């Protein structure tokens, strides 16, 4: 792999397509162990499995969390070209060559006098109307079912893969939700 700093190339339309696929924060992992972190479709850091010793995954997750956005994660094959660069990888993504994209969203759940309330943290695909909105969950509904139904009904997810609690206090639990997202937008 060439170690020179990759640049976005192409038309504004291709850059817009790349941003639509990558989102605000994205983590790309190749099957050879190399990794990259993109913010707003710009490569900001990469990890070479042969020479580096720290993964970017936790840094990418913490960056997305600090920005209150979803992190998109891509597990891809290494390009066949021995002189590949990250532009090859992202151009294939923008062209629609990737079939599955994992993303995450933070979800807060709290118990109130009116029942269980659920908040989906800052995902632009849910629109500004949901930024500070808390949704009331019907009694008897499982949290995982509610989250998956909400995300699929709003076109954010195809399927929820995992829900993991990451923070809890007396009245609120924050969950990390990993889901498969549709690439067509």
126 and 73 belong to one structural domain: no
Candidates 62, 67, 57; CA nearest to 102 is 57
Instruction: Give the integer Cα–Cα distance in Å for 111 and 171.
Output: 6
Report residue 142 as tokens: 């499982």
Boundary of a domain, candidates 34, 65, 98: 98
How does pLDDT run along the chain (185 residues), one tens digit per residue?
A: 444 444 545 555 667 777 877 888 889 989 898 999 999 888 999 988 888 777 888 888 888 878 877 788 888 888 888 899 898 888 887 776 665 677 778 888 999 888 899 988 755 555 545 556 888 999 999 999 999 999 999 888 889 999 999 888 888 898 988 888 766 54
Q: How many domains does the chain have?
A: 2
112 and 168 belong to one structural domain: yes
Boundary of a domain, candidates 48, 65, 98: 98
Boundary of a domain, candidates 50, 74, 98: 98
* 2 occurs within a structural domain: no
93 and 128 belong to one structural domain: no
94 and 115 belong to one structural domain: no
**Residue 114 lies in domain:** 104-181
Q: How many CB atoms lie within 10 A of CB 44?
A: 14
* 4 occurs within a structural domain: no
Tell me what pLDDT residue 14 has. 66
Tell me what pLDDT residue 144 has. 93
* 116 occurs within a structural domain: yes
* 1 occurs within a structural domain: no
Give the pairing of strands 71-76 and 101-112: antiparallel
* 7 occurs within a structural domain: no
27 and 66 belong to one structural domain: yes
Tell me what pLDDT residue 142 has. 94
Instruction: Give the integer Cα–Cα distance in Å for 90 and 96.
Output: 10
140 and 70 belong to one structural domain: no
Candidates 13, 103, 89; CA nearest to 46 is 89
Contact 82, 76 (CB under 8 A): no
* Helix H or strand E encompassing 15: helix 12-22
Instruction: Give bridge partners of residue 119 from the DSSP assignment.
Output: 108
Tell me what pLDDT residue 2 has. 44
- pTM value surpassing 0.75: no
37 and 94 belong to one structural domain: yes
């Amino acid at each position: 792999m060439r170690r020179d700093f990759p640049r976005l190339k192409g038309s504004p339309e291709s850059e817009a397509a790349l941003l639509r696929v990558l989102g605000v924060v994205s983590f790309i992992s190749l099957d050879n162990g190399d990794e990259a972190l993109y913010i707003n479709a710009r490569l900001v850091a990469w990890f070479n499995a042969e020479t580096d010793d720290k993964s970017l995954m936790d840094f990418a997750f913490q960056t997305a969390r600090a920005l209150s956005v979803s992190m998109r994660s891509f597990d891809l094959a290494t390009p066949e070209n021995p002189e590949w660069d990250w532009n090859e990888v992202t151009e294939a993504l923008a062209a629609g060559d990737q079939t599955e994209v994992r993303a995450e969203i933070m979800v807060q759940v709290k118990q109130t006098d009116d029942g269980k309330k659920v908040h989906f943290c800052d995902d632009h695909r849910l629109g500004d109307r949901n930024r500070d909105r808390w949704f009331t969950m019907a009694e008897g509904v499982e949290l995982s079912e509610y989250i998956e139904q909400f995300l699929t009904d709003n076109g954010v997810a195809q399927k929820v893969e995992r829900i993991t609690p990451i923070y809890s206090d007396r009245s609120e639990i924050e969950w990390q939700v990993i889901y498969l997202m549709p690439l067509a937008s």
